[in-house]
Amino acid sequence: MVESVAKSHRTVSRVTAILELAAERPGVRLATLAAALDAPKSSVFGLVKGLVSTGYLIEEGGGYHLGPALGNLLTAERPNLADAARPSLEELRDTFGETAMLGTAVGESVVYIAAVESRQPIRYSAPLRVRRPLYPPSAGKVLLASWPERRRDAYLRSIIDDPAAFERARQELERVRSDGVATNRGETLPDVSAAARPIVVHGRVVAAMAVAGPTTRISERLADIAEALVEATRAAASRLS
């Protein structure tokens, strides 16, 4: 059986984008939504009204906020991932003086949901709640390496055309799965390097924790960061268990 890469659906993509924009900008207006989606106001209006009618959005003063129905998708017992990871992120930042981040897989993207930024004037600033490719960011590599082999390889083929480059990426992710650590040495941004490890809860990878900074300052410390991430991710996982 050949594993296929999930395909986007225009209506689904628009609905999820509306919800994400409402989360990022409470009170967002129809014109802003239509511009962000590059879609006619009439089409977006129909989707927004449908979300209001089902309780996923609330309309107040011409703006839209997330509605109470979203709470039905979450269990009250589910620990807050960002809260559980924050003490570890702060400790990593204080130890290495660099930005520490928490990333999760959202579909076929990695999204940083929490970050504790370096206090140094020149630092990496992690963009929160923004979808980014799973490969080559270090956090994305960790998440991608946990996928079943067929799904992982199908994703890699969807973004890498060159067979030799595909094979290098596949072998790298095999090592990440085996070693539990991923690095990124200027692959995403030329001047930024990072290391990441997974947070594993009950045998399942639920997130990735990473530390990133300017390559000239951090490249020689990636091994030490990877070692520190062992305890940091373990501590975060224990708060989620």
- Give the pLDDT confidence of 173-219 residue by residue, as tens digits: 999 999 999 999 999 999 999 999 999 998 989 999 999 999 999 99
pLDDT 10s digit of each residue in the chain, 241 long? 445 566 778 899 899 999 989 988 899 999 999 999 999 999 999 999 999 878 788 888 889 988 767 765 654 444 589 999 999 999 999 999 999 999 998 778 898 999 999 999 999 998 888 889 999 999 999 999 999 899 899 999 999 999 999 999 999 999 999 999 999 999 999 999 999 999 999 898 999 999 999 999 999 999 999 999 999 999 999 998 8
Domain ranges of the chain: 10-73, 81-240
Residue at token pair 């020149």: 122
Which residues contact residue 164 at a Cβ distance below 8 angstroms, ignoring those fewer than 6 apart? Answer: none
Q: What fold, for 10-73?
A: Arc Repressor Mutant, subunit A (1.10.10)
Give me the pLDDT at residue 76, please. 44
For the chain, the farthest-separated pair of C-alpha atoms sits apart, in whole angstroms, at: 55
Nearest partner of 198 among 127, 238, 156, 141, judged by Cα: 141
- As a whole number of angstroms, the distance between CA 226 and CA 124 comes to 18
**Is residue 141 exposed (0-12), middle (13-18) or buried (19+ Cβ within 10 Å)?**
buried
Give me the pLDDT at residue 93, please. 98
Region 81-240: CATH code: 3.30.450.40
**pTM for the full predicted model:** 0.74
Give me the pLDDT at residue 165, please. 97
- Please state whether 61 falls in left (phi above 0), alpha (psi between -120 and 50) or beta: left
- As a whole number of angstroms, the distance between CA 102 and CA 13 comes to 24
Return the bridge partners of 199, or none: 207
Give me the pLDDT at residue 71, please. 62
Give me the pLDDT at residue 23, please. 87
Give me the pLDDT at residue 5, please. 63
Pair of tokens at residue 240 = 């989620």
